[in-house]
Amino acid sequence: MRNGEDETQVIIVAHRGARSLAPENTLPVAVKALESHADGWELDVAMSKDGVLVVLHDDTLERTSNVVDIFPERGPWSVYDFSLDELQQLDFGSWFVESDPFDQIAQGNLTANDIQAYQGVKIPTLQEALEFTQSNHWWVNIEIKDASETPADAIIVPEVVRLVETLGMEDQVLISSFNWDYLRQVKALNPNLATGVLTNKLVMDPLALMAELEAQAFHPGMKVTYAEQVKLLRENGYAVNVWTVNEVADMEKLIEMGVTGIITDFPQRLYPVLNP
């Protein structure tokens, strides 16, 4: 269940793509998520200095690119301080090969061709990521990062909505954010777009919050997901998509609770749990 419609099958949402298998928030990671039978992928959206929507999780660039080597004097390397042209000079793939964050290279789960292909991967624009999603008849959860301390704050939500509308992808997209005011903005701009309420804290009255935000999906962190709330939300027609769930025992527990979606770094691990 992506956005509240009645489905019984738990959906697999690849967190930042299948980021155990490829550099997160890139097009190669989306390919891996598709190959791993994910029903869709979750990606994060920020904005370049010149107003282009780009796919990136962190506010800063140093963890997932070689920005420190290319622009050593530009610290603290906020993505919002770099133009798209500058961002496209960076390598967003080699860090994954060098750090092997999920030990999948060490375990032999990636080929030499994979490893070679990740060198020099470029940051995707949101348009490129959405066009990939569209061309593969897929689904995407767009998380809009909180840009409230940057000039992008005033335009990032309208630009995301405009792009989704321009591509005609309203039915393939759910927009989520920890900044709940962004969700209000989405609904004001296009009430037909599905939204998801992200939280890493216990919400005492989720039904009231969902009604106030006019949202379709509740996205709690795994540690603040409770069976009673899942049941209550489901009975009232809301989707419950839980993040970030990587262990089989936790996946099984959430499936038993009745969640509608599991957001995971390991879609290749969740698929056989759902399809024994």
**What b/e readout covers 60-72, taking b as 16+ CB neighbours within 10 angstroms?**
bbeebbbbeeebe
Catalytic residue among 37, 57, 137, 219: 57
DSSP state of 78: B
- Are 59 and 48 spatial neighbours (Cβ–Cβ below 8 Å)? no
Cβ neighbours for 17, distance < 8 A, ≥ 6 positions apart? 24, 25, 26, 29, 30, 32, 33, 41, 42, 43
Task: Give the closest residue to 242 by CA, choosing from 199, 207, 195, 179.
Answer: 199
Q: Is 57 a catalytic residue?
A: yes
Q: Which amino acid is it at 154?
A: A
Q: Is 15 a catalytic residue?
A: yes
3 Rama sector, left if φ>0, alpha if ψ -120 to 50, beta otherwise: alpha
**What b/e readout covers 199-208, taking b as 16+ CB neighbours within 10 angstroms?**
eeeeeeebee
The two tokens of residue 106 are: 């060490």
From CA 16, how far away is CA 45, in angstroms rounded?
A: 11
Residue with tokens 């155990």: 20
From CA 190, how far away is CA 101, in angstroms rounded?
A: 38
Catalytic residue among 15, 37, 137, 219: 15
Catalytic site positions: 15, 57
